[in-house]
Amino acid sequence: MSQILVVDDEIGIRELLSEILADEGHIVHLAEDAGRARTLRSAARPDLVLLDIWMPDTDGITLLKEWAANGQLTMPVVMMSGHGTIETAVEATRIGAIDFLEKPIALQKLLTTVKRALGTGGGQTQAGLTLLSLGRSAVIVDLRKRLAQIATLSVPVLLRGEAGVMPEMFARYLHQPNTPWVVAGAALADAPQELLAQAAGGLIFVEELAGLTRTQQKNLTFILGKQEKTRARLVSFTAEEPARLTAELGFDATLLARLSELSLLLPALREHAEDIPDIASILLAQLVEARNCPPRHFSTAALNALRQLRWPRNLQDLEGAVKNLALTALEEEIDATDVERVSAQFHPAVDTQVALPLELPLREAREAFERAYFEQLLARESGSIARVAEKSGLERTHLYRKLKALGITAGKKDE
């Protein structure tokens, strides 16, 4: 017996689907709009959602994106529409929907789709972040656009970046829905033909070029030669500079040139530090959602403290810190003192000295200093706006405007 959430603004559709699914032994929850769907999704934890695209307040695609960005796409979602297009269906599956039903929905098609969807056991089954949940900074928005632009091409792509940037998350954005996803792994050493057969029509991801043996490099060259025939796209990653990869680590220069026909640089976390509060909140929500920890949430001061820290291994370090905080905090609210306790593993402490940005134009240098100043003040005063206003000598309204302009999450309104 499964719990199914039906989201549709037409009462006739809701009642019809409810009757059919209930006859099949399912427990059915009904929502007439996105607001009700959010409530029921959180309360009932459905095993499947049938989601209409066209609704009056928030459309189904927007709600699907919201769930994906917030780490709440933990169940399979099937989209429904009476006048959908191929483009809409492709967009929905790229976001995380697993199927698409066109209205009027035939009985057998509905039952077959529901059975198949419930058999998947989940929506975005890969744990952790997705590119949709990585933030709203200009750096990430720009990268998403570039990845979407090359997603349908067949040429190899080389992703480059620092250790810990989670390259698989970016590679998955290039993966076409409902096609094979294969991580090269050990098969690259002894079974390249099987690897090709398994990935036909899909994507092969090579996690780190620097770790490949001569045999694996040779087999990768073989796969490249068969790529067009099998329609298996190759996406690889390295944290090494190309010159060092070939000159010092002995990687085949000709193979590297072929793999990097298209190359994209992945940003370090410090390059979009303004996204850290959102990323940390989503990672924590995912742990709570999966019942891997008790209910937890971050205080504003804690989020600002996380943003100030350096993360040597980027997203990997931040993810580890959030998990540590979720499991070891003594209270439901994780505060700045918790962050300070855990941060020693990744960096000795929150920076108390700010390097003067003397190389920047005056306006940018002033903004950089003000951002660091208010972030440290918020952390020190546990997010209290009243105390920050007093310490900085600013009137509260002016302080709120200043924090908003600098992209800093405001703290407590009252003592």
CATH number for position 262: 3.40.50.300
103 and 140: one domain? Answer: no
- Residue at a domain's end among 343, 367, 388: 343
Do residues 156 and 254 share a domain? yes
Q: Which of 236, 267, 298 is the last residue of a domain?
A: 267
262 and 282 share one domain: no
Domain interval for residue 339: 270-343
Residues 130, 132, 138, 143, CA torsion sign = positive
pLDDT at 348 over 70: no
Q: Does one domain contain both 173 and 229?
A: yes
**Max CA separation in the chain (angstroms):** 71
pLDDT, position 126: 46
- Taking only the tens place, the pLDDT of each residue in 121-130 is 544 444 468 8
| Under 8 Å between Cβ of 244 and 219 | no
Q: How many domains does the chain have?
A: 3
Asked if the model's pLDDT at residue 237 lies above 70, the reply is yes
Q: Where does a domain end: 267, 294, 323?
A: 267
- Name the 3-class secondary structure at 179: coil
Averaged pLDDT score across all residues of the chain: 87
CA distance to 189, 227, 236, per residue, from 218 (Å): 9, 14, 15
In this predicted structure, the answer to whether residue 395 has a pLDDT above a threshold of 90 is no
Is position 385 within any domain? no
Whether residues 19 and 102 share a domain: the answer is: yes
pLDDT, mean of residues 48-53: 95
pLDDT above 70 coverage of the chain, percent:
93
pLDDT level of residue 394 (50, 70, 90 thresholds): confident
Q: Strand runs (DSSP E) across 44-180, as ranges?
A: 48-52, 77-81, 99-102, 157-160
Average pLDDT over residues 351-359: 61
180 and 282 co-located in one domain: no
pLDDT tens digits for 178-219?
Answer: 789 999 988 898 888 999 999 999 999 999 999 999 999 999
Q: What is the CATH number of the domain that holds 44?
A: 3.40.50.2300
Whether 138 and 262 share a structural domain: yes
Please check whether residues 259 and 290 belong to one and the same domain.
no
Mark whether 137 and 196 lie in a shared domain.
yes
What mean pLDDT comes out for the span 252-271? 95
Give dist(CA 175, CA 204) in Å, integer: 9
Q: Is residue 111 located within the same domain as residue 214?
A: no
Write out pLDDT tens, residues 2-28. 999 999 999 999 999 999 999 999 999
CATH number at residue 290: 1.10.8.60
Confidence of residue 76 (pLDDT cuts 50, 70, 90): very high
pLDDT digits (tens, 9 = 90+) for 274-333: 999 999 999 998 888 878 899 999 999 999 999 989 898 999 999 999 999 999 999 999
Q: Are residues 260 and 158 in the same domain?
A: yes
Residue 387 lies in a domain: no
Q: What is the pLDDT of residues 106-163, one digit of tens each?
A: 999 999 999 998 986 544 444 468 888 888 899 999 999 999 999 888 899 999 999 9
Q: Say what the pLDDT of residue 410 is.
A: 67
Q: DSSP 3-state assignment of 411?
A: coil
Q: What does the pLDDT read at residue 196?
A: 92
